[in-house]
């Protein structure tokens, strides 16, 4: 058995169902060995999207996403995808081919020091130097990626190691890492403190982040909120922990969030942050809210506690494990008055300024789209105005909302939606992007067609890099620089070239009918909606 065969066997042992990748000479032994195992291989059109597809796959399946690239440019092209996954704590195992180990360091053809290059974007990385280490390294990599705070792990395998014979293949049952033992169970004393703080509080608020979804704890956290009637707000990454129409849910916080969500945070006397890292876009001035509130911070990563804000009650552990436990304690809490106040704030929220006639109103459009989506639909937003409108107006029922939150990587939506489709072939999936972000990954339409992973794609066409244009409007008095997207192709012809049905919506007339047709089948479809070029998020 060769090292490459061992690599493929390791993936089988880990229950991997699909890998997203792009071959090159340095990873050819591995792809050859993949012919003899029952794992789907998806050929992407550029490596960055292999990582995004693995990310979409991981977020929907709850498994580790796997992407593969060759040495040199293949590996370096993965980096943005790896960094995107790292910023949102998505579990990936990224496998790269490497030049012959005897030639490492001599700058031969397609050599890149990928383990060095990704050091600050991975949870861990390996350069395999001995073929006998392959089973242990793969076991460790999957374990590290999928436990504690999730994240990407990279395995770099020189071609001679892939071609070397392995004496005996034994896949380890257990991982033995003396340096890596993430905390799972919450500390009892701290949990009791949380319960006590809730009993003392009159205006508590729960703020959920992406960590709740990563820990698969949405229902536990939601049940806890309902048990005491505590209102909930979310960060961008925490959208879809609660259904949008839940009476206890008060939207997304932050500078692009709902004003009533931010008011709820500012006026509360107890903030319970769960799986959120108190980043600048959610809470721009953490010191201010700390003045007259008690802060509880629950996270699996002890380094997040006190990084951006020093909490009064830190609680480290896996969120699911903590909420399964904490629900056994009883708090005295009646915040019905407080919820009523927040509901009044919500009802008084002014609706967005109507855009000019003759265009599609993105807010109204997204609301209409949400109404028509299946309950468990997966909505993938790209980055930019389309993303901000999506988090403002998409109504989550029982489905998921995916986007690149931490890194804000344009072009994420199409590959992530395709990856999500590979994980959930029976679910409805919609990718929403701008005309800028669409052109960053439109090459993946071929991947979608080739591998029969159909998704619905909606392009918000405004002819600009809209969010940057909006920023230049506000900060540079409308002096636009390098944001005009003139020269974009005819998206209908692009769809036609790939054999994908195309729909176009110029204004709100017939919007319902066009949407119904667009969503009618399970086939892929592309829709272009015409947005006022000068429309703004707020």
Partner 1 sequence: MKRLYSVLVENRSGVLSKVAGLFSRRMFNIDSLAVGETDDPNVSCITIVSSGEKNTLEQIEKQLNKKIDVIKIKTFNEEESISRELILVKVKYNKSTRREIMEICEILNASIVDMSKGLLTIQLCDTPERTKLLIQMLASISIVEVARTGVLALQKCSLSD
Nearer to partner 1, 126 or 224 (CB): 126
The site that binds partner 1 (CB under 8 A) totals a number of residues, namely 19
* Short-list 289, 237, 235, CA closest to 412: 237
Neighbours of 341 (CB within 10 A): 17
Looking at 49-57, 174-182, 202-210, 354-362, which segment touches partner 1 (CB under 8 A)? 174-182
Q: Which is nearer to partner 1, 124 or 169 (CB)?
A: 124
Of 13, 200, 307, 427, the one binding partner 1 by CB under 8 A: 307
CA 347, CA 328: separation in Å to the nearest integer?
A: 34
Q: Is 451 in the site for partner 1 (CB under 8 A)?
A: no
Asked if 102 is part of the footprint of partner 1 (rule: CB under 8 A), the reply reads: no
CB 463 within 8 A of CB 414: no
**Structure tokens, 332:** 């005295």
Give the distance from CA 60 to its chain's centroid: 10
Residue 119 binds to partner 1 (criterion: CB under 8 A): yes
For position 84 contacting partner 1 by CB under 8 A, the verdict is no
Q: Report, in Å, the least distance between residue 144 CB and partner 1.
A: 7
Q: Which residues pair with 94 in a beta bridge?
A: 67, 154
The alpha carbon of residue 134 and the mean position of all alpha carbons in its chain are separated, in whole angstroms, by 29
Is 116 a binder of partner 1 (CB under 8 A)? yes
Which pair of tokens denotes residue 455?
Answer: 């998704």
Residue 3 host element (H or E): helix 3-13
CA distances 260 to 47, 69, 226, Å, are 41, 45, 20
Which residue among 172, 306, 358, 489 contacts partner 1 (CB under 8 A)? 306
Q: What is the DSSP letter of 353?
A: P
d(CA 141, CA 138): 5
Measured from the Cβ of residue 273, the count of other Cβ atoms closer than 10 Å reads 28
Least distance in Å: CB of 196 to partner 1? 25
Q: Which of 46, 55, 80, 115 binds partner 1 (CB under 8 A)?
A: 115
Does 285 bind partner 1 (CB under 8 A)? Our answer is: no
Strands annotated E in 161-312: 204-208, 232-234, 249-252, 270-274, 294-299
Edge to edge, the sheet with strand 313-316 lists 249-252, 232-234, 204-208, 270-274, 294-299, 313-316
**Of residues 178, 353, 477, 479, which one binds partner 1 by CB under 8 A?**
178
Q: Does 280 bind partner 1 (CB under 8 A)?
A: no
| Pick 116 or 492: Cβ nearer partner 1 | 116
Cβ proximity to partner 1: between 24 and 314 the closer is 314
Element (H, E) at 121: none
Tell whether the torsion through CA atoms of 404, 49, 59 and 436 is positive or negative.
positive
- Residue 469, phi then psi, degrees to nearest 5: -60, -45
Residue 45 or 149: the one with the smaller Cβ distance to partner 1 is 149
- Binding residue for partner 1, selected from 176, 179, 336, 486, defined by CB under 8 A: 179
Residue 291: CB minimum distance to partner 1, A = 17
Residue 310 as a binder of partner 1 (CB under 8 A): the answer is yes
Closest distance of CB 103 from partner 1, Å: 17
Tell me whether residue 243 or residue 302 sits nearer to partner 1 (CB atom). Answer: 302
Instruction: Report the nearest approach of partner 1 to the CB of residue 143 (Å).
Output: 11
| Residue 156 makes contact with partner 1 by CB under 8 A | no
If binding is defined by CB under 8 A, does position 351 make contact with partner 1? no
Which of these ranges, 171-179, 221-229, 244-252, 377-385, lies near partner 1 under the rule CB under 8 A? 171-179
Identify the residue among 40, 130, 165, 177 touching partner 1 (CB under 8 A): 177
Residue 244 DSSP class: T
Please identify, using beta-carbon distances, which residue of 119 and 516 lies nearer to partner 1.
Answer: 119
Query: Which residue stretches of 215-270 are H helix?
Result: 218-228, 259-267
CB of 306 to partner 1, least distance (A): 6
User: Is residue 120 part of the contact set for partner 1 (CB under 8 A)?
Assistant: yes
Structure tokens at 444: 């993946």
Nearest CA-CA partner of 184 in 324, 311, 306, 305: 324
Residue from 13, 28, 136, 180 touching partner 1 (CB under 8 A): that is 180
Q: Which residues contact 129 (CB under 8 A, 6 or more apart)?
A: 101, 158, 161
Q: Which of 9, 45, 52, 123 binds partner 1 (CB under 8 A)?
A: 123
* Binders of partner 1 in range 492-511 (CB under 8 A): none
Closer to partner 1 by CB, 96 or 387: give it.
Answer: 96
Task: Please list the residues that pair with 206 across neighbouring strands.
Answer: 232, 272
- Residue closer to partner 1 by CB (options 303, 520) is 303
The residues binding partner 1 (CB under 8 A) are 115-116, 119-120, 123-124, 127, 144, 177-180, 301-303, 305-307, 310
């Amino acid at each position: 058995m060769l090292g490459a065969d061992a690599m493929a066997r390791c993936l089988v042992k880990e229950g991997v169902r699909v890998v997203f990748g792009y071959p090159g000479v340095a990873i050819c032994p591995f792809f050859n060995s993949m012919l003899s195992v029952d794992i789907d291989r998806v050929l992407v059109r550029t490596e960055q999207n292999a990582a995004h597809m693995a990310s979409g796959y991981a977020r929907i399946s709850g498994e580790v996403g796997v992407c593969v690239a060759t040495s040199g440019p293949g590996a370096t092209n993965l980096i943005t995808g790896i960094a995107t996954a790292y910023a949102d704590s998505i579990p990936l195992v990224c496998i790269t081919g490497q030049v012959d180990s005897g030639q490492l360091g001599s700058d031969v053809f397609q050599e890149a020091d990928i383990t060095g290059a990704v050091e600050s974007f991975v949870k861990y990385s390996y350069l395999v130097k001995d073929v006998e280490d392959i089973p242990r390294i793969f076991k460790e990599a999957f374990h590290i990626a999928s436990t504690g705070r999730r994240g990407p792990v990279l395995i770099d395998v020189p071609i001679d190691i892939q071609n070397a014979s392995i004496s005996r293949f034994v896949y380890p049952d257990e991982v033995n890492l003396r340096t890596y033992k993430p905390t799972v169970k919450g500390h009892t004393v701290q949990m009791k403190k949380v319960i006590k703080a809730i009993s003392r509080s009159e205006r508590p608020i729960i703020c959920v982040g992406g960590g709740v979804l990563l820990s698969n704890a949405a229902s536990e956290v939601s049940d806890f909120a309902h048990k005491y009637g505590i209102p909930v707000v979310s960060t961008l990454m925490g959208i879809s922990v609660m259904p949008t129409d839940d009476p206890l849910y008060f939207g997304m916080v932050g500078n692009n969030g709902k004003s009533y969500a931010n008011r709820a945070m500012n006026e509360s006397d107890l903030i319970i942050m769960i799986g959120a890292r108190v980043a600048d876009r959610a809470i721009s001035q953490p010191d201010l809210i700390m003045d007259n509130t008690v802060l509880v911070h629950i996270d699996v990563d002890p380094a997040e506690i006190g990084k951006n804000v020093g909490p009064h009650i830190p609680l480290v552990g896996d969120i699911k494990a903590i909420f399964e436990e904490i629900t056994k304690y009883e708090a005295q809490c009646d915040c019905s008055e407080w919820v009523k106040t927040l509901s009044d704030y919500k009802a008084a929220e002014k609706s967005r300024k109507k855009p000019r006639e003759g265009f599609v109103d993105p807010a109204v459009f997204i609301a209409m789209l949400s109404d028509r989506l299946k309950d468990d639909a997966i909505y993938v937003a790209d980055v930019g105005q389309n993303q901000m409108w999506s988090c403002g107006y998409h109504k989550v029922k029982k489905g998921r909302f995916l986007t690149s939150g931490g890194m804000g990587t344009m072009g994420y939506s199409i590959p992530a939606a395709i990856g999500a489709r590979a994980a959930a072939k029976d679910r409805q999936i919609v990718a929403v992007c701008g005309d800028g972000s669409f052109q960053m990954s439109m090459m993946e339409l071929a991947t979608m067609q080739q591998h029969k992973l159909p998704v619905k794609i909606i392009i918000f066409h405004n002819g600009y890099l809209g969010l940057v244009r909006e920023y230049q409007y506000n900060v540079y008095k409308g002096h636009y620089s390098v944001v005009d997207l003139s020269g974009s192709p005819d998206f209908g012809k692009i769809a036609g070239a790939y054999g994908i049905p195309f729909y176009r919506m110029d204004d709100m007339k017939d919007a319902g009918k066009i949407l119904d047709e667009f969503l009618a089948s399970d086939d892929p479809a592309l829709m272009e909606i015409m947005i006022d070029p000068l429309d703004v998020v707020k």
